[in-house]
Amino acid sequence: MHAQLKDKQLLAFDLDGTLIDSVPDLAVAVQKTLAGEGLAPPQQTHVRDWVGNGAPVLIERALSWALGKSPNATLNARAYDAFLSHYSQAPDHLTRLYPGALEVLEAVRAAGLRQVLITNKPERFIMPILQHFAMLEYFDLYLGGDSLTQKKPHPLPLLHAAKTYGVSPADCAMVGDSRHDVGAGKAAGFTTFALPGGYNHGEPIALTAPDVLLDSLFDLIAETPCATRTAR
Protein backbone atom coordinates (compact mmCIF):
# COMPACT_ATOMS: atom_id res chain seq x y z
CA MET A 1 0.00 0.00 0.00
CA HIS A 2 1.04 3.62 -0.48
CA ALA A 3 3.10 4.96 2.42
CA GLN A 4 0.53 7.68 3.10
CA LEU A 5 -2.09 4.99 3.74
CA LYS A 6 -0.09 3.45 6.55
CA ASP A 7 -2.21 3.29 9.71
CA LYS A 8 -5.27 4.67 7.88
CA GLN A 9 -8.56 3.01 8.77
CA LEU A 10 -10.97 4.46 6.23
CA LEU A 11 -10.52 5.32 2.57
CA ALA A 12 -13.16 7.41 0.77
CA PHE A 13 -13.41 7.31 -3.01
CA ASP A 14 -15.08 9.68 -5.40
CA LEU A 15 -16.92 7.95 -8.28
CA ASP A 16 -17.17 9.96 -11.51
CA GLY A 17 -13.76 10.77 -12.92
CA THR A 18 -12.05 8.64 -10.27
CA LEU A 19 -13.33 5.07 -10.59
CA ILE A 20 -15.48 5.46 -13.71
CA ASP A 21 -15.59 7.61 -16.83
CA SER A 22 -19.30 8.43 -16.84
CA VAL A 23 -19.25 11.46 -19.11
CA PRO A 24 -20.36 9.58 -22.25
CA ASP A 25 -23.68 8.57 -20.63
CA LEU A 26 -24.08 11.93 -18.89
CA ALA A 27 -23.50 13.73 -22.18
CA VAL A 28 -26.18 11.71 -23.96
CA ALA A 29 -28.70 12.55 -21.23
CA VAL A 30 -27.77 16.25 -21.35
CA GLN A 31 -27.99 16.31 -25.14
CA LYS A 32 -31.47 14.72 -25.09
CA THR A 33 -32.57 17.16 -22.41
CA LEU A 34 -31.53 20.25 -24.34
CA ALA A 35 -32.88 18.89 -27.62
CA GLY A 36 -36.23 18.40 -25.89
CA GLU A 37 -36.22 22.13 -25.12
CA GLY A 38 -35.37 23.02 -28.71
CA LEU A 39 -31.84 24.00 -27.74
CA ALA A 40 -28.54 23.09 -29.36
CA PRO A 41 -27.01 20.03 -27.72
CA PRO A 42 -23.46 20.40 -26.34
CA GLN A 43 -20.49 18.25 -27.24
CA GLN A 44 -19.17 15.63 -24.85
CA THR A 45 -16.12 17.84 -24.24
CA HIS A 46 -18.38 20.56 -22.86
CA VAL A 47 -20.09 18.16 -20.47
CA ARG A 48 -16.73 16.89 -19.25
CA ASP A 49 -15.89 20.38 -18.03
CA TRP A 50 -19.32 20.88 -16.41
CA VAL A 51 -19.37 17.71 -14.28
CA GLY A 52 -18.41 17.78 -10.61
CA ASN A 53 -20.90 19.85 -8.65
CA GLY A 54 -23.87 17.50 -8.94
CA ALA A 55 -26.63 17.04 -11.50
CA PRO A 56 -28.57 20.27 -10.76
CA VAL A 57 -25.49 22.39 -11.45
CA LEU A 58 -24.64 20.32 -14.52
CA ILE A 59 -28.03 21.09 -16.06
CA GLU A 60 -27.84 24.76 -15.11
CA ARG A 61 -24.45 25.03 -16.79
CA ALA A 62 -25.72 23.28 -19.90
CA LEU A 63 -28.74 25.56 -20.16
CA SER A 64 -26.64 28.66 -19.56
CA TRP A 65 -24.31 27.57 -22.35
CA ALA A 66 -27.16 26.95 -24.78
CA LEU A 67 -29.10 30.12 -23.91
CA GLY A 68 -26.16 32.44 -23.42
CA LYS A 69 -27.65 33.44 -20.08
CA SER A 70 -28.85 31.88 -16.84
CA PRO A 71 -32.09 29.89 -17.21
CA ASN A 72 -35.20 30.82 -15.28
CA ALA A 73 -36.27 28.59 -12.41
CA THR A 74 -39.13 26.97 -14.33
CA LEU A 75 -36.96 25.92 -17.25
CA ASN A 76 -34.19 24.78 -14.94
CA ALA A 77 -36.54 22.56 -12.92
CA ARG A 78 -38.19 21.10 -16.03
CA ALA A 79 -34.86 20.36 -17.65
CA TYR A 80 -33.50 18.78 -14.49
CA ASP A 81 -36.45 16.41 -14.27
CA ALA A 82 -35.99 15.51 -17.94
CA PHE A 83 -32.30 14.86 -17.40
CA LEU A 84 -32.99 12.51 -14.50
CA SER A 85 -35.45 10.60 -16.67
CA HIS A 86 -33.04 10.30 -19.60
CA TYR A 87 -30.06 9.36 -17.44
CA SER A 88 -31.99 6.77 -15.45
CA GLN A 89 -32.71 4.89 -18.69
CA ALA A 90 -29.00 4.43 -19.46
CA PRO A 91 -26.62 5.32 -16.62
CA ASP A 92 -24.04 2.69 -17.54
CA HIS A 93 -24.31 1.91 -21.27
CA LEU A 94 -21.28 3.95 -22.34
CA THR A 95 -19.65 4.43 -18.94
CA ARG A 96 -16.37 2.59 -18.40
CA LEU A 97 -14.23 1.65 -15.41
CA TYR A 98 -10.86 3.31 -15.19
CA PRO A 99 -7.88 0.95 -15.37
CA GLY A 100 -7.11 -0.55 -11.98
CA ALA A 101 -10.40 0.31 -10.30
CA LEU A 102 -11.41 -3.22 -9.30
CA GLU A 103 -7.86 -4.31 -8.55
CA VAL A 104 -7.33 -1.36 -6.23
CA LEU A 105 -10.63 -1.83 -4.41
CA GLU A 106 -9.81 -5.51 -3.87
CA ALA A 107 -6.30 -4.74 -2.60
CA VAL A 108 -7.52 -2.02 -0.24
CA ARG A 109 -10.14 -4.37 1.18
CA ALA A 110 -7.54 -7.10 1.62
CA ALA A 111 -5.37 -4.62 3.52
CA GLY A 112 -8.18 -4.16 6.02
CA LEU A 113 -9.21 -0.57 5.26
CA ARG A 114 -12.89 0.32 5.34
CA GLN A 115 -14.00 1.78 2.02
CA VAL A 116 -16.76 4.34 1.46
CA LEU A 117 -17.98 6.07 -1.68
CA ILE A 118 -18.68 9.81 -1.57
CA THR A 119 -19.94 11.33 -4.80
CA ASN A 120 -22.01 14.33 -5.85
CA LYS A 121 -24.05 12.12 -8.19
CA PRO A 122 -27.72 11.75 -7.10
CA GLU A 123 -27.98 8.79 -4.75
CA ARG A 124 -30.59 6.98 -6.87
CA PHE A 125 -27.97 6.23 -9.53
CA ILE A 126 -25.19 4.95 -7.30
CA MET A 127 -26.35 1.41 -6.55
CA PRO A 128 -27.25 0.51 -10.16
CA ILE A 129 -23.85 1.68 -11.38
CA LEU A 130 -21.94 -0.07 -8.59
CA GLN A 131 -23.86 -3.26 -9.24
CA HIS A 132 -23.27 -3.05 -12.99
CA PHE A 133 -19.51 -2.79 -12.48
CA ALA A 134 -19.37 -5.33 -9.60
CA MET A 135 -18.17 -2.69 -7.14
CA LEU A 136 -21.02 -2.63 -4.64
CA GLU A 137 -19.47 -5.29 -2.39
CA TYR A 138 -16.40 -3.15 -1.73
CA PHE A 139 -18.19 -0.24 -0.07
CA ASP A 140 -19.53 -0.19 3.47
CA LEU A 141 -21.33 3.09 2.78
CA TYR A 142 -22.15 5.25 -0.21
CA LEU A 143 -23.32 8.86 -0.16
CA GLY A 144 -24.67 10.89 -3.07
CA GLY A 145 -24.97 14.60 -3.56
CA ASP A 146 -28.50 14.52 -2.19
CA SER A 147 -27.93 12.06 0.67
CA LEU A 148 -27.18 14.78 3.24
CA THR A 149 -27.83 18.49 3.59
CA GLN A 150 -24.43 19.32 2.06
CA LYS A 151 -22.25 17.83 -0.64
CA LYS A 152 -18.60 18.16 -1.62
CA PRO A 153 -16.67 20.47 -1.38
CA HIS A 154 -18.38 20.77 2.00
CA PRO A 155 -16.73 18.36 4.46
CA LEU A 156 -20.03 17.05 5.88
CA PRO A 157 -20.23 13.82 3.81
CA LEU A 158 -16.66 12.90 4.75
CA LEU A 159 -17.15 13.72 8.41
CA HIS A 160 -20.42 11.79 8.39
CA ALA A 161 -18.62 8.71 7.07
CA ALA A 162 -15.86 8.99 9.66
CA LYS A 163 -18.36 9.47 12.47
CA THR A 164 -20.50 6.56 11.26
CA TYR A 165 -17.61 4.18 11.80
CA GLY A 166 -16.05 5.92 14.80
CA VAL A 167 -12.87 6.82 12.96
CA SER A 168 -10.86 10.01 13.50
CA PRO A 169 -10.51 12.17 10.35
CA ALA A 170 -6.75 11.94 10.82
CA ASP A 171 -7.07 8.20 10.18
CA CYS A 172 -8.99 8.72 6.92
CA ALA A 173 -8.06 9.55 3.34
CA MET A 174 -9.98 10.87 0.33
CA VAL A 175 -9.26 9.83 -3.27
CA GLY A 176 -10.70 12.00 -6.03
CA ASP A 177 -10.12 13.79 -9.29
CA SER A 178 -11.39 17.32 -8.69
CA ARG A 179 -10.98 20.39 -6.55
CA HIS A 180 -14.24 19.47 -4.82
CA ASP A 181 -12.73 16.20 -3.60
CA VAL A 182 -9.50 17.81 -2.45
CA GLY A 183 -11.33 20.74 -0.85
CA ALA A 184 -13.71 18.47 1.03
CA GLY A 185 -10.85 16.27 2.14
CA LYS A 186 -8.78 19.14 3.44
CA ALA A 187 -11.73 20.71 5.23
CA ALA A 188 -12.55 17.38 6.87
CA GLY A 189 -8.98 16.72 7.98
CA PHE A 190 -8.53 13.74 5.64
CA THR A 191 -5.29 12.99 3.79
CA THR A 192 -6.01 13.86 0.15
CA PHE A 193 -5.03 11.84 -2.92
CA ALA A 194 -5.73 13.36 -6.35
CA LEU A 195 -5.81 11.78 -9.80
CA PRO A 196 -5.24 13.65 -13.08
CA GLY A 197 -7.31 13.04 -16.16
CA GLY A 198 -10.69 13.19 -14.44
CA TYR A 199 -13.22 16.00 -14.24
CA ASN A 200 -11.72 19.17 -12.80
CA HIS A 201 -13.37 21.81 -15.00
CA GLY A 202 -10.43 21.85 -17.39
CA GLU A 203 -7.91 22.79 -14.70
CA PRO A 204 -4.82 20.78 -13.67
CA ILE A 205 -5.59 18.88 -10.48
CA ALA A 206 -2.12 19.75 -9.18
CA LEU A 207 -3.34 23.32 -8.62
CA THR A 208 -5.51 22.05 -5.76
CA ALA A 209 -2.34 21.08 -3.83
CA PRO A 210 -3.43 17.62 -2.64
CA ASP A 211 -1.31 15.80 -0.11
CA VAL A 212 -0.48 13.23 -2.76
CA LEU A 213 -0.70 13.57 -6.52
CA LEU A 214 -1.07 10.19 -8.21
CA ASP A 215 -0.45 9.16 -11.77
CA SER A 216 -2.96 6.31 -11.62
CA LEU A 217 -5.12 4.33 -9.23
CA PHE A 218 -2.43 1.64 -9.15
CA ASP A 219 -0.17 4.02 -7.21
CA LEU A 220 -2.49 3.64 -4.22
CA ILE A 221 -1.49 0.02 -3.74
CA ALA A 222 2.20 0.29 -4.62
CA GLU A 223 4.58 0.42 -1.67
CA THR A 224 6.99 2.72 -3.49
CA PRO A 225 5.10 4.25 -6.43
CA CYS A 226 7.85 5.90 -8.40
CA ALA A 227 5.46 8.19 -10.26
CA THR A 228 3.70 9.46 -7.16
CA ARG A 229 4.51 12.94 -5.94
CA THR A 230 3.70 14.56 -2.64
CA ALA A 231 2.23 17.94 -3.57
CA ARG A 232 4.01 21.07 -2.35
Report which of 2, 223, 13, 216 is spatially closest to residue 114, judged by C-alpha positions. Answer: 13
Q: Round to whole Å and give the CA distance between 88 and 93.
A: 11
Q: Round to whole Å and give the CA distance between 97 and 74.
A: 36
What is the SS3 assignment for 83-152?
A: HHHHHHHCCCCCCEECCCHHHHHHHHHHCCCEEEEECCCCHHHHHHHHHHCCCHHHCCEEECCCCCCCCC
Q: Round to whole Å and give the CA distance between 186 and 169.
A: 10
CB 177 within 8 A of CB 18: yes
Gyration radius of the chain over CA positions: 17
**Cα-based distances in Å from 81 to 22, 43, 55, 87, 228:** 19, 21, 10, 10, 41
219 in catalytic set: no
SS3 16: strand
178-198 per-residue burial string, b: 16 or more CB within 10 A, e: under 16? bbbbbbbbbbbebbbbbbeeb
Query: Which residues are catalytic, by number?
Result: 14
